[in-house]
Amino acid sequence: ALCAVSGATFLYHDYCIIGAGPAGLQAAYFLQRAGRHYIVFERSHAPGSFFALYPRHRKLISINKQYTGKSNSEFNLRHDWNSLLSHDPRLLFRRYSRDFFPDADTMVRYLEDFASLLKLRVQYNTAIIHVTLEKNEQAWNGHYFVLTDQDRKNYKCSSLLVAAGMWVPNVVNFPGSEYVEGYETVSTNPEDFTGQTVLILGRGNSAFETAENILGVTNFIHMVSRSRVRLSWATHYVGDLRAINNGLLDTYQLKSLDGLLEGDLEDLAIVKDKKGKLHITLRFYLENRNISAGIDSITLPQDELDNFATRAPYDRVIRCLGWKFDFSIYNRSLRMMPGKGNIKKYPQIKASYESRGTRGLFVLGTASHSVDFRKSAGGFIHGFRYTTRAVHRLLENRHHGVPWPSTAYPVTQLTNAIIKRVNEASGLYQMFSVLADIILLRENATAFEYLEEFPIGVLAELEMHTGRKARNGLFVIIMEYGRNFSGADKDVFYYNRAVGEAQHAWQSNFLHPVIYYYRSLPTEREMRLRPPEWPLPRPDAIHHIVEDFLTDWTAPNAHILPLRRFLENCLSTDLRHFFAESCFLFAFTRQKLPPSCQQGYVGMQGLLGSRELREHAARAGLLQDYTHTHSAGDRAPDSHHGSQEQLMTDPGVPVHPLQHLVNAKDE
């Protein structure tokens, strides 16, 4: 579409997306499905240009699980970290690769297919080099975004979705840093490292990946970084060091010359001797000295401390320090500011993924990870595919009056709705503690609306963002690890780490569903002042579903029963199911009926139940059998009495076989 504003010609789009990587394509998919007017700009000739280069050693560390033993497509996405969300079953990553850790080229091919099969509107070879604002009262956000590409062509958009990723390498500057090779360019051929001594700066997955590649041919590898190594299986954060790359930890701890050191890279200096060997020294020694005077005039630490750890000269120093967001293309008026502290590589955004500086600018994908950095999966495909969908839903509501999708159910379906979601929902599972399902209660709690995967950071603004009303209380369903269970220094294998009993569910350590109940929507102030370590403000009631070894929360007694009791007590009602016969009795003997009778039986949808089932219920003492107790009024409570006992002695959980199994394992 062409439109002429103030003389200049602009190509106008409602939505502009910068970057045709996974996040950009994912956003394009949702906009396309909603029939929105959008365009994606990609500087390269094909999608996923980052993956065309990185990881250098080509092995993706995102899991591509072929089999889960289940056909549930939603559940299976919990273990598919590479696919983008779409309605097309051809676009499941497992159809592209059989490798558990697939090759990066496959990702590039997948993204190409995703864009072409879904006919996404991507404009390739278009590098946006400048973004600025144009004030306009009529615009959605009071301004248009004006984008300029490398050919000085201008594009105008109402809403800007930045999915440009993080591709500017982090560089440290210290004396001698010119001798350092970057991860971007370093050779990936192990033969180039034969018999060399290597120092690697950085302690992330790229550093370990680089080390892994040359571990077998080097003399030894040393690795320096400021912070200690963080193992993802201890931190439960996929951005930390993954076990697939950690060969160097093995050789270090098994005394095979390789080693890890902690130190601030800013204090470092490297000097090259005449033979071309690189020596580590400290910036401190170099101050007030003339480096040009030559290596011999420079003090090395070992001159004073003759057992200095990195006194051995290195053949190569490699920098693997990750990437940061490209802030350079945004005009100052957009106020795209880096975050503070450990999130300074990311632009500042709100929990709604909208820029703090500019209304209408949303950051998607890896660059949006500041929201859940080192917590959840928002920086990775298997996380941001959901947050992107959430942003799209916010936009649909904000600009097109399409409220957040929801399903209305009668209150009798409350337990079911929750159980269904916590067992299969992948967004809740991948974006644990970030995205939440919301249950909005209707008046008198006879019905409810179910909203999926809402960003809990903006819970206080739920009504504004979703177009739904939360006047009668709400449940928030999220998944959490146990507090204090995750951490770089935590032993995640200690005995008794797993909780088995529903009554101690709050102490569950592994990822498990948690349901918060609020009588009224928390305010922004309450959100801000929430207790530390709490993802949400203190609720009126909380329920933990006990962690489960199989992540299968469908056990009637351990999972569903305590949940039902929680919901009943929050709503002050009785959510049990009843056979039609019980409802019949209640209809004649009580003025009010339990919800399941009211909505089921009285609505002619009663459960008559087979003879066997009714007998079981009678034996359990939960249904009175009147067929044999015509006049003796005393028999029934008697049988109730007996069967209660039976019920209690009936072993619901096979403790003995399990114990047996464990013993066998131990031996």
DSSP assignment string, 129-173: EEEEEEE-TTSTTSEEEEEEETT--EEEEEEEEE-----EEP---
**Beta strand pairing call for 2-5 and 143-149:** unpaired
Q: How far is the CB of 551 from other proteins (least distance, A)?
A: 13
Q: Which is nearer to other proteins, 258 or 581 (CB)?
A: 581
Q: How far is the CB of 405 from other proteins (least distance, A)?
A: 11
Q: Which is nearer to other proteins, 469 or 525 (CB)?
A: 525
What angle, rounded to 10 degrees, do the helices at 381-400 and 22-33 form? Answer: 40
Q: Which is nearer to other proteins, 165 or 562 (CB)?
A: 562
Residue 319, strand partner residues: 182, 201
Q: Which is nearer to other proteins, 218 or 415 (CB)?
A: 415
Contact between 434 and 375 under an 8 Å Cβ cutoff? The reply is: yes
How far is C-alpha 195 from the chain's CA centre?
A: 41
Q: Which is nearer to other proteins, 188 or 644 (CB)?
A: 644
DSSP 330: B
Closest by alpha carbon to 577, among 410, 354, 333, 349?
A: 410
Q: How far is the CB of 425 from other proteins (least distance, A)?
A: 10
Q: Which is nearer to other proteins, 306 or 666 (CB)?
A: 666
Q: Which is nearer to other proteins, 456 or 560 (CB)?
A: 560
Q: How far is the CB of 527 from other proteins (least distance, A)?
A: 9
Q: How far is the CB of 117 from other proteins (least distance, A)?
A: 18
How many angstroms separate the CA atoms of 192 and 453, rounded?
48
Q: How far is the CB of 23 from other proteins (least distance, A)?
A: 24
How many angstroms separate the CA atoms of 147 and 10, rounded?
9
How many angstroms separate the CA atoms of 546 and 498, rounded?
9
Q: Which is nearer to other proteins, 324 or 543 (CB)?
A: 543
For residue 514, what is the enclosing H or E element?
strand 512-518
Amino acid (1-letter code) at residue 515: I
Q: How far is the CB of 293 from other proteins (least distance, A)?
A: 41
145 three-state secondary structure: strand
390 Ramachandran zone, left/alpha/beta (phi>0; psi -120 to 50)? alpha
Q: How far is the CB of 234 from other proteins (least distance, A)?
A: 12
Q: Which is nearer to other proteins, 292 or 610 (CB)?
A: 610
How many angstroms separate the CA atoms of 15 and 35, rounded?
11
Q: How far is the CB of 107 from other proteins (least distance, A)?
A: 24
* Count of residues making up the chain: 667
Closest by alpha carbon to 52, among 119, 118, 124?
A: 124
Tokens of 456: 């809990």
